[in-house]
């Protein structure tokens, strides 16, 4: 009798577990499905193309907020040199990740992924559509595709590598990286000390090549993603970039850079618009030459951005003045979620 009672109790518990699991799965599927009806619109393009102005117009049409994907406008100390949105523009539409962090923060794309996804979860409670606008390729990919999970940093090892950079130069670190991880060495921007130091830090700390931690798998997101790119012919883009640099200078870029000069060793200031002026302050180039270099390096950065973006066949391209066409395209796409 006790045996039959025990078997019946086990059977009852099993049925309860199955029913509970089905209820949980149903609720989670409903939550997932409801989130899939939410839309992240990504507005990107090269520097100087007019993403800020276009983004505000699009966000106002959809009555939504803007999540900035700009790895330098995020720093509150960098205002003029990053062409951050003006006060009136920030008041026109709620922006996130503009002047939200300090140059003294150890900020990167992985941290942005975590913080941006948490923010999107909150925004989607009150908005069906959210706009992400910016030109920082890694930050956009971090949110849309996910970024590789790396081991925690070793502050002492990083400090040692940064000291080597100051004392022995970048070429010394390049040689170490080539030996530790020849695969990543062949792909990385060898002029970017921050990326070289980061890769070396992971390789030396773990005894494994940095590239072994990188994957090609995209993380699934519980919302749909629609990517819009802005571009124009090269001559017009160069005109826009040159005009923007002239405006920065007129707005007080030299004074801003002079105030930040003492922090030039920080990665946040290894940025076009500041490092050229730091060279001027060091007596290496004239003011006129520094401004010319800012324009040249900005144009080169735009070319690099476009090379990156063109690998992404999910981006649909428009010219900066085609705001109405962009809005109509978005409306058509978000009404057809299965496409």
Question: What is the model's pLDDT at position 22?
Answer: 46
Question: What is the model's pLDDT at position 18?
Answer: 53
Question: What is the model's pLDDT at position 20?
Answer: 54
User: What is the second-level CATH architecture of the domain 47-147+221-334?
Assistant: 3-Layer(aba) Sandwich (3.40)
Nearest Cα residue to 116 out of 101, 105, 210, 103: 101
229 is in an annotated binding site: no
**Rounded to whole angstroms, how far apart are CA atoms 144 and 312?**
12
Q: Which two tokens stand for residue 187?
A: 């792909």
Indicate whether 125 pLDDT > 90.
yes
Indicate whether 26 pLDDT > 50.
no
Question: What is the model's pLDDT at position 151?
Answer: 76
Can you state the angle between helices 287-309 and 137-144, rounded to 10 degrees? 30
CATH topology agreement for domains 47-147+221-334 and 155-213: no
225 is in an annotated binding site: no
Indicate whether 235 pLDDT > 70.
yes
Question: What is the model's pLDDT at position 30?
Answer: 44
Q: Which two tokens stand for residue 74?
A: 């995020």
For residues 292 and 30, which has the higher predicted lDDT (pLDDT)?
Answer: 292
Name the 3-class secondary structure at 133. Answer: strand
Instruction: Yes or no: say if 189 and 197 are a contact pair by the CB < 8 Å rule.
Output: no
What percentage of residues in the chain have a pLDDT greater than 70? Answer: 88
What is the average pLDDT across 91-111?
94
Q: Which of the four pLDDT bands, split at 50, 70 and 90, describes residue 28?
A: very low
Indicate whether 164 pLDDT > 50.
yes
Nearest Cα residue to 125 out of 35, 28, 29, 225: 35
**CATH number belonging to the domain at 155-213, selected among 3.90.1150.10, 1.20.1260.10, 1.10.20.140, 3.30.70.3280:** 1.10.20.140
Taking the domains of the chain in order of start, what are their residue ranges?
47-147+221-334, 155-213
45 is in an annotated binding site: yes
What is the average pLDDT across 156-163?
86
Question: What is the model's pLDDT at position 12?
Answer: 53
46 is in an annotated binding site: yes
pTM summary value: 0.78
51 is in an annotated binding site: yes
261 contacts: CB under 8 Å, gap ≥ 6: 278, 281
Indicate whether 112 pLDDT > 50.
yes
For residues 288 and 109, which has the higher predicted lDDT (pLDDT)?
Answer: 288
Nearest Cα residue to 265 out of 193, 326, 313: 193
Question: What is the model's pLDDT at position 16?
Answer: 57
48 is in an annotated binding site: yes
178 is in an annotated binding site: no
**Rounded to whole angstroms, how far apart are CA atoms 49 and 243?**
11
247 is in an annotated binding site: no
Q: Which two tokens stand for residue 144?
A: 């849309």
C-alpha dist (Å) from residue 333 to 41, 47, 143, 277: 10, 26, 20, 45
Mean pLDDT (the chain, rounded): 89
Question: What is the model's pLDDT at position 289?
Answer: 98
Instruction: Yes or no: say if 114 and 24 are a contact pair by the CB < 8 Å rule.
Output: no
Q: Which of the four pLDDT bands, split at 50, 70 and 90, describes residue 339?
A: very low
Indicate whether 230 pLDDT > 80.
yes
Instruction: Yes or no: say if 229 and 317 are a contact pair by the CB < 8 Å rule.
Output: yes
């Amino acid at each position: 009798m006790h045996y039959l009672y025990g078997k019946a109790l086990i059977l009852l518990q099993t049925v309860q577990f199955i029913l509970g699991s089905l209820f949980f799965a149903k609720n989670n599927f409903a939550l997932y499905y409801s989130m899939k009806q939410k839309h992240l619109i990504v507005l990107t393009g090269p520097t100087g193309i007019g993403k800020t102005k276009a983004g505000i117009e699009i966000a106002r049409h959809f009555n939504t907020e803007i999540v900035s994907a700009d790895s330098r406008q995020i720093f509150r100390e960098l205002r003029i040199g990053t062409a951050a949105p003006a006060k009136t523009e920030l008041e026109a539409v709620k922006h996130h990740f503009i002047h939200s962090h300090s140059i003294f923060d150890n900020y990167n794309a992985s941290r942005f992924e975590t913080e941006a996804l948490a923010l999107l979860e909150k925004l989607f409670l009150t908005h069906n559509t959210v706009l992400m606008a910016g030109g920082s390729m890694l930050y956009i990919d971090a949110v849309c595709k996910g970024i590789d999970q790396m081991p925690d940093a070793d502050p002492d090892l990083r400090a040692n590598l940064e000291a080597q950079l100051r004392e022995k130069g970048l070429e010394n670190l390049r040689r170490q990286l080539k030996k530790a991880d020849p695969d990543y060495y062949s792909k990385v921007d060898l002029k970017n000390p921050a990326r070289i130091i980061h890769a070396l830090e992971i390789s030396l700390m773990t005894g494994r090549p940095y590239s072994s931690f990188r994957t090609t798998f995209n993380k699934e997101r519980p919302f749909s993603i629609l990517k819009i790119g802005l571009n124009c012919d090269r001559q017009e883009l160069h005109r826009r970039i040159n005009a923007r640099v002239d405006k920065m200078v007129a707005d007080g870029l030299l004074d801003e850079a002079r105030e930040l000069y003492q922090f030039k060793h920080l990665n946040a200031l290894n940025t076009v618009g500041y490092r050229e002026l730091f060279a001027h302050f060091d007596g290496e180039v004239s003011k006129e030459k520094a401004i010319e270099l800012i324009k040249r390096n900005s144009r080169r950065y735009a070319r690099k951005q476009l090379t990156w973006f063109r690998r992404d066949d999910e981006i649909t391209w428009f010219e900066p003045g085609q705001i109405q066409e962009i809005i109509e395209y978005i409306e058509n796409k978000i009404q057809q979620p299965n496409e």
